[in-house]
Amino acid sequence: MSLPLRFNRMEVAGSLGDLGTLLPIAMAMILINGLPALGVFFCIGLFYILAGLFYGVTVPVQPMKVIGAYAIATALTPEQIAASALLLGIILLLVGWTGIIDLIRRITPKSVIRGIQLSTGTLLLSSGIRFMLGTTQFQNVQQAAEPALALQHFGPLPIGVVFGVLGGLVTLFLINNRRWPGGLAVLVLGTGCGLLFGAGSGLGDVDPGLYLPSLLPFGLPGGADLSFALLALVLPQLPMTLGNACLAYTDLAEHYFEKQAQRVTNKNACFSMGLANLTAFILGGMPMCHGAGGLAAHYRFGARTAGSNLIIGTLFLGLALVFGPHSVALLQLLPLAILGVLLVFAGAQLALTILDLETRKELFVAVLIMGITLAANLAVGFVVGVGVAWVLKSERFGI
């Protein structure tokens, strides 16, 4: 049975908690890869709302990070990104329909799930700090720590470090305050800083109206785009999606919401992500998934019901429908360092899930997955972690 919808300040703050992951990749794929802002934000909003209504609890919506990182770094064409969304949509529906995802869950020990959560949390925390320092891939491509701001330094310090420290202190002070939720306070602070330091200079070109997404804006993908997307994007992304956006996500949802999360199954997660990616292919959105990190972010900043999904989903749909291609200018009011603050707290929340591991062998598997993730990627860490966890079940091996 799902929780009743709530629309209080905590749900508003929690609904915005995962913007640190969502916005930078979405905006980079719009500005660098040429995806339409209208299609990207419309699909995000629609996915948030429909997922919240179906699952009945807070549900995260995130970009597929392997695809996003590779697409941004190599300036892939929108046709190649659309092809990856189509292929992922089909594959995820098949994995859910055939029950393969349930088989994967049965052979995946708890220590591996915690290792995925620890690794994802560490990556989020690290990304948040890099946003403050101005060293992320997106900031390097833009050749500025805060591309939308007129001021890049505050005395000897980078402006992002100043915003990060200030935002971190505000969040620490208000993180558990129900009257002035920390997540909402830091976003209001960030927007004010953005306006004060020149991020509003592009607002003069904003033209409100009624905008609707185009159907198949890039047409049907050709064989070359499909084969490239499968080898370069889909196959590297798939293990991370199944590990983090299915197994680790559903485990965390059950931990947070218990019986209320009865619809949050691995099979349903595959179905909802598959349908979301087919919709993104049709409307020009970006490849999307759920994710343990996103749920940790929403929950840490106050989201407890599907009301948070309706809040953030309506916000993105409104941006898309009313401002269309001009919506990016509004979102650039938030300094990237403030988004980094959200990532730091979300990452710490997720990483701390390993506290319920009891044996040295379990802790070793979790830490090993984190090490492999930092050295290679989460997909490799997931596969190796499963193998090592099963080997350590034998009494012949010790740690």
- If one counts the domains in the chain, the total is 1
Query: pLDDT tens for residues 66-99?
Result: 899 889 878 899 999 999 999 999 999 999 999 9
Give per-residue pLDDT as tens, 253-294. 999 999 999 999 999 999 999 999 999 999 999 999 999 999
- pLDDT tens digits, 126-137: 999 999 999 988
At 180 the pLDDT is: 87
Q: Which domain holds residue 278?
A: 9-391
To the nearest whole percent, how much of the chain has pLDDT over 90?
A: 74
Partner residues linked to 158 by β-bridges = 153
Which residues fall within 8 angstroms of residue 230, CB to CB, at 6 or more apart? Answer: 84, 87
306 belongs to a structural domain:
yes
Considering the entire predicted model, what is its pTM?
0.90
Pair 92, 270: CB distance under 8 Å = yes
* 3 in any annotated domain: no
pLDDT at 72: 85
Amino acid at 165: V
Write the burial class of residue 356 (CB in 10 Å: 0-12 exposed, 13-18 middle, 19+ buried).
exposed
Asked if residue 229 belongs to a domain, the reply is yes
Within a domain: residue 4?
no
Q: Per the domain annotation, does 373 fall within a domain? A: yes
Tell me, yes or no, whether 399 lies in a domain. no
Is 396 within a domain? no
> Domain for residue 2, yes or no?
no
Going from the C-alpha of 9 to that of each of 27, 319, 331, the distances in angstroms are: 26, 21, 21
